[in-house]
Structure 1
C-alpha cells in the first residue's frame, strides 16, 4: 500500500474509476512476477491507456483549432438545457458566420484563417456567461447554446447578438496586417418554437442565420415559423434553376444598342433568360438569386460568354456588322479564378479580337472596396484588350479614381435617369452633368431604358453616344436576332435614301 500512496498523488485527478484499474494492474503484475520493476511497467502501461482513452474522448468533443465544442457536443448541451427548463425559464441557440468568408480565405493561408477562428472563440468566451457553451461547426460558422434563464427573451437575445457583432469590429492582426471582418447572426428561443428539441432549436437558429445572410453583412435575424417554408421554397428553386442550367434551359437573349448620331447598330447586350417548361420565360430577378445561393454564378457566366461569342461569330459569318457584344458580370462571377483564362480561350476558339467583348459590371462593384480576385480579374480582362462598361451608372458611388483604376471605357446611364427625360428638367440637368463628366474623362456613353422616340431625341441632343431599351427593341432570342438585324438594316437604308431626297 505504501507504493500506491506514493504513486497515487500525481494522478489523483483521474478519479475513483481509474484507481480501480491501477490497483488491478499493480496486483496482477505483483502476483505474476513479484518484481517492483514489472509493477511499475504495468502501471505505466495502464496510465498510458487511460490517458489515451480520455484524450480521444476530449478530441471527439473539442475542436482542435479553437478548443470549442464540436457539433455533436453542442447538440448534447442544447438537449440538456431544454431538459432543465422550468415554467418561467427559456434557453436559446445562436448561429453566427463570418461574412464574405471567401475573401478572407483568398487573402490568407490556413494559419491566418485559424488565427481568426481563435480570435472569435476568445471574444465569444469573454462575452458569454460561463454556463453558455460555444461550438465551432464547419469552417466559419459558430454555434452558441444559451443556458436557461428567466431573463432570456427576444430583446435580450437581440442585445446579446449586437454585443457579439460589436466585439468582432476590432481587427485581427495576421502577419503584421490588420484584418477586419463582420458576422451575421441568427438566433432562436425555446419559447418561440413548438415541439422543440436540441437539434430543432439549432436548426431554427440556422434558418434565421440563412435569412440574415440574405441581408448581410452584419445582419441579425430572429427565427420565425415563416422562415422554414420560405427557406424550403428557396432551396427548391435553387435545385430547379441548377437543373435548368444543366439542361440548357437558361440561354442568352440579346438587346440591341444603336448610335444616336448615325442610327447604326453598334452592339448587343447579353441577358440571361430561363425557358421554364411550364411557366415560359422566367425573368432574371427571380432566378439569379437562386443561382447565387446554389453557388452556380460562375457557370452562368461561362454560359453567357460562350453564347455571346458564338452569336458574334455567327453574325460575322452572315455579314452583319456588329461591333461588339456586352456580357454582364456580377461580383460573384468576377471572383471566379478561371474567368480570364476562360474568356481568353473562348475568344481564340471563335477567332474574335478581345476588344469586341464588353465586360459590363455594376457601378456598385467598383464603388465598393473590391477584393483582390475581382481586381486581378478586371485587370486581366483589360490586359487582354476587353472593354469595360460601367453599368447602371448613377445608382452607386463610383469615384473618378475607381473609374480610372479599372480602365472604364464607357458608362451606361441608369434607366431611372432616362424615363420621361423629355419632360423633366431636373433629369435633363443630371444627365447633362453626367455626359459632361464623361466627355472630360474621355468616356463613351450609353443610356439604358429608352422607350420613346422623344426620350431618344432628347438624349441625342444632350450628347449621349448610344441608346438601348424597349423603344429600340426588346431582348430577343438568338433565333430572332438575325431577322431583326436584317429588317433594321433595311429600314436604315430606306431612311438614308429619304433623307438624301429631302436634302
Structure 2
C-alpha cells in the first residue's frame, strides 16, 4: 500500500496488498467506515489515472462521475442489507482521459462493522470500447455505415410511439434497387457493393435531420419520415428519391444506371413497426409488378390479397408434405379399337377449409414460389404408383399422361424426378407420357427442356405436345423434340362445328401429325358431332366430357369395367368402331339397326359448314402452314444468332 498510511500488520491486509501489486491491471484500496480512502497500492495511478496524494483522505464517492456516486456508496456499505460488493463506475481524470473501472469489495478484515473496507479495482476502459464497437457492429451495416435492420426497426418502433403520442403523421418508405441481382452477376460483387454505398449516400442527402434511413435487406433501404402532414409530403419525398437514384452511377470505374421501386405505408391507428414494414413490403411488391422506378402506397385490399397468397402457399406446402393432394384421371379412348387406352392425370386439391382449390389458382403460385419442384415430384410419383396398382388389378395396358410445366424444366430436375418415380414404383417407362405445352416449348429459349426430354425418350417415356395449335409456330420443335403424340387444344375442338377456320386448323393439324407418323389426340370432345369429325380426320385417340369427366382412381377403375362390359355386349357383326365409340360414349347400347344415324358416320364433306367452302379451307390451311414455316425459320435464326 502507499506509504501515506501503511497497512497494519494484519495478515489479510498483507495478502491483499501483495495481490494489488502482483496482478497486472489491478490496484488495491482501503477505505474507512465513512468512505474516505485510507490507503492505496502503488498501481493506483496506473489503474485510475489519479495521483495517490490527491486521493488519500477524500471520499471515494467524490472521485467518481456524479452519476455513479450511489453505486460507490452502496459498494462501501457494511452490515445487513449491504451491496454484494461489486460495481462499475467512471472516474474523471485531469488529463481528460476518464477511466471506467470495475471495483470489488474484499472481506471484512476485523469483523467489526465500524472498521475499514478493503477492495480491488481494475481498468475496464478498453473493454468498454470493445463493447461499444461490438454494439456498433450489431446496430450498423458494415458496408454502408448506416443503421442495419435491427437498429432501424428499434427506431421505427420509437417513431411509431412518438407519432401516436404527438398526433403527428409518420411514413415508412422501402426502397429496392431494380435488377440489382443482374448488377451482381454481370459487374461483380465489388461493383455491386460500391453501388450500395453510393445509394446509401444519396438517400442520406435527401432526408431531413429528424428522419432516418437504414439498410434492411440485401438491396433494400428503409426511410422513416416523421412529421408528415399529408400523403403529399411522402409522395414528394418518394419522387425526389426515384429521381436522384435514377441518375448515372460510377462504381469501380464502371458507368451504369439504376432505378429504384418504392413501397410506402402510412401510420394507421393500430399500426406497429412490424405491421408498417409488412405493408410497405407488400406495396413494394405491387410496385415492382408494374415495372421499374414505380412508387406504390400500401393498399388494404392488395395487402389482404398478399396475405391470402402467403396463406395459400403455406397450405400448399403442407398439403405436399402431408399427402393432402390427390389425382383424378380422365379417360383417353383409342378410336381404332374403342378401348380405354389410358388417362390424363389431373391434380386436385381438396382443402379442408377452402374446398376444392382450382389448379389454375395454385399451380402458378407453385411456379412463382419454387414449390413446383416438390409438387411436380409428388405428381410424378403418385402417377407411377397408380400405374403399379393398376398392374395388380390387371390393367397393365393403360398409360398415364402427366403435365410438366416450363418452370419445372428450367429447374433442370425433371429427368431425375421422372426416373426416380419410375424406378421407385418399378413401372415400364413406355406407359408414362410426359406432356409439355406448345407454349412451354416456345419459351424454352435456354434449351433446358430438350436435353431432358431426349434423355426421357431414350429411356422409353412417351413425349406429348399438349395444347397444340396455341403456340403459333412449332414445326421446328416437332423435328427437334422426340415427340410421339400431339394433342389438339380444346379451344379448336369446341368450335369445329361452328367456325370453319377452327375446323380447317384441326384438319391441318391432324394431317400434319399423320404425315409425321405421330399420334393425334383431340382434347375437349363433348358432342357426338365433334367425335364424328375427329374420327373422320384419322385422329388416333380422343379425350373429353363426352366420354367422362376426370374421376377419382376408384371411380376410374369402375368406369373402365363398365365401359368394357358394354363394349363386350356389342354383336361381333357390327364392326363399326366409330359408331361403337359414339354409342359407348353416349352410354346407350349399340344396335346394328339399318339406317341408324349413329351406326355409320357421314362423309366429312357432308358436314354443312365444311361443304360450303372447301377451297377456302384448303387455302387457309396452306397459308397457316406457310406462316408456321416462316415462324419456325425465324425461331431457327434466333437460335443460331
TM-fit CA distance, 1:204: 0.8
| Matches for 1:234-383 after TM superposition, within 5 Å | 234-277=309-352, 281-288=356-363, 296-320=371-395, 322-334=397-409, 339-369=414-444, 377-378=452-453, 380-383=455-458
- Alignment: residue pair count: 456
The aligned counterpart of 1:452 is 527
Q: 1:321 to 1:460 in 2, by over 3 A?
A: farther
What is aligned with 1:74? 152
Q: How many angstroms does 1:477 deviate by?
A: 0.9
Could you tell me which of 207, 219, 233 is aligned with 2:308? 233
2:266 matches 1:190 = yes
In 2, distance between residues paired with 1:100 and 1:194? 35
**Structure 1 residue matching 2:551: 3-state secondary structure:** coil
Q: CA separation of 1:155/1:451 partners in 2, compared to 1, >3 Å: closer, same or farther?
A: farther
Q: Quick check: 2:206–2:240 contact (8 Å CA) kept in 1?
A: no
| 1:486 matched to 2:564 | no
**How far apart, in 2, do the equivalents of 1:399 and 1:182 lie?**
37
Residues 155-207 of structure 1, C-alpha deviations (whole Å, 9 max, x = no match): 66886797799889x9x99xxxxxx9999x5612426x444454432221123
In the alignment, the residues of structure 1 paired with residue 333 and residue 358 of structure 2 have an alpha-carbon distance, to the nearest angstrom, of 24
C-alpha contact (below 8 Å) 1:161/1:220 kept by paired residues: no
Which residue among 217, 222, 236 is the counterpart of 1:144? 222
Structure 2 CA distance for partners of 1:142 and 1:452, relative to 1, 3 Å:
same
Distance 1:486 1:450 in 2: 21
Does the aligned pair in 2 maintain the 1:253–1:272 contact within 8 Å?
yes
Cα distance change of structure 1 residues 99 and 300 upon mapping to structure 2, 3 Å threshold: farther
Q: Is the 8 A contact 1:182 1:217 kept in 2?
A: no
1:210 Cα shift? 5.0
CA separation in 2, counterparts of 1:212 and 1:375? Answer: 35
Alpha-carbon offset, residue 475 of structure 1:
0.7
Name the residue aligned to 1:461: 536
Q: Residues of 2 paired with 1:241 and 1:155: CA distance?
A: 38
Shift of 1:425: 1.0
Structure 1 residue 24: Cα displacement: 6.6
CA contact (8 A) 1:422 1:454 kept: yes
How far off its partner does 1:250 sit?
A: 1.3
Q: Secondary structure at the match of 1:348?
A: helix
Helix, strand or coil for the counterpart of 2:544?
A: coil
Q: Is 1:390–2:444 an aligned residue pair?
A: no
For 2:93 and 2:479, locate their aligned partners in 1 and report how far apart those are by CA, in whole Å.
75
Looking at structure 2, the residues matched to 397 and 164 of structure 1 have their Cα atoms a distance apart, in angstroms, of 44
Task: State the match for 1:61 in structure 2.
Answer: 139
Runs of 5+ unmatched residues, structure 2:
1-89, 101-121, 577-591, 593-599, 601-641
Q: 1:204 to 1:500 in 2, by over 3 A?
A: closer
What is the alpha-carbon root mean square deviation over aligned residues? 5.0
| Native 8 Å contact 1:186 1:207 kept in 2 | no
TM-superposed deviation, 1:322: 3.4
Alignment of 1:144-223 (within 5 A): 144-145=222-223, 147=225, 153=232, 187-190=263-266, 193-209=268-284, 221-223=296-298
Deviation of 1:134 (Å): 5.7
* Cα 1:430–1:212 shift into 2, 3 Å: farther
- The worse-fitting range, judged by mean Cα deviation, of 259-268 and 275-284 is 275-284
Comparing 468-477 with 327-336, which one deviates more in the overlay? Answer: 327-336
Bigger Rg, which one: 2
Q: Distance in 2 between matches of 1:108 and 1:252?
A: 41
**Does structure 2 conserve the Cα–Cα contact (< 8 Å) formed by 1:123 and 1:167?**
no
- Cα gap change, 1:60 to 1:264, in 2 (>3 Å): same
Unaligned runs of 5+ in 1: 1-17, 29-41, 174-179
The verdict on how the C-alpha distance between 1:445 and 1:160 changes in structure 2, with shifts beyond 3 A counting, is farther
Hey, what's the Cα distance between the residues in 2 that align with 1:384 and 1:142? 47
1:426 is displaced (CA, Å) by 1.9
2:400–2:432: 8 Å Cα contact kept in structure 1?
yes
CA contact (8 A) 1:238 1:293 kept: no
Contact 2:327 2:348 in 1 (8 A): yes
